[in-house]
Amino acid sequence: MLDSFKVRARIPEHYVSRVSTGLRGTFLHAGQEHTIEVFKVYPEVSNGEFDVDLRFVDAAPADIRRGQTFQVRLQLSEDMEAVMLPRGPFFQDTGGQWVYVLDAEGAATKRDVKLGRQNPDMYEVLEGLQPGDRVVTSRYVQFNDADELVIQ
């Protein structure tokens, strides 16, 4: 683009069906939030990622330069309330079927869960946990599939 700036983003292929032209995103620059929107989606997947081009909805910040990097936040679904569980190595050992949940006395018991959508940081919990439940998210292999753990 000769007369303005565009932003090129690499997105994990997991999200390819949820990204389309017109999708808006935001990023922070110099303490201000700026809005951008997707105007081109490249369908080719390379190394598990695909590219999109984004343009500024309003005027581009005056002090940006070619080659700068931004962390862009795209909202791929509507806002909703959900119980969230941080991603952790426990998933490798349980496949997300169950977790150890801590009680007030320091014991952790096995509880079946059902996980839904995910992002790079969190899992959505569909069943099995309530807001405020504390979960052990480390590897479980060393616990030998115990039904209860005593945390000291």
**Are 53 and 105 members of one domain?**
no
What confidence score (pLDDT) does residue 1 get?
Answer: 47
Mean pLDDT value across the chain: 88
**Exposure of 85 by Cβ count < 10 A (0-12 exposed, 13-18 middle, 19+ buried)?**
buried
**Are 43 and 13 members of one domain?**
yes
Lowest mean pLDDT among 73-77, 101-105, 133-137: 73-77
Could you tell me the CATH number of the domain that includes residue 14? 2.40.30.170
Report yes or no on 1 lying in a domain. no
Place of tokens 């939030």: 33
Report yes or no on 112 lying in a domain. yes
Name the pTM for this structure: 0.59
Domain boundary among the residues 32, 55, 74 is at 74
CB-based contacts of 58-63 (< 8 A; 24+ apart in sequence):
58/34, 60/4, 60/5, 60/34, 61/29, 61/30, 61/32, 61/34, 63/30
What confidence score (pLDDT) does residue 2 get?
Answer: 46
* Confidence label for 66 from pLDDT (cuts 50, 70 and 90): confident
**Are 70 and 10 members of one domain?**
yes
Evaluate whether 49 touches 11 at the Cβ level (below 8 Å).
yes
**Are 66 and 87 members of one domain?**
no
Could you tell me the CATH number of the domain that includes residue 121? 2.40.420
* Confidence label for 3 from pLDDT (cuts 50, 70 and 90): low
What confidence score (pLDDT) does residue 58 get?
Answer: 85
Query: CA neighbours within 13 Å on the CB side: how many for 54?
Result: 27
Mean pLDDT for 129-151 is 92
* Count of domains forming the chain: 2
User: 47 lies in which domain range?
Assistant: 6-74
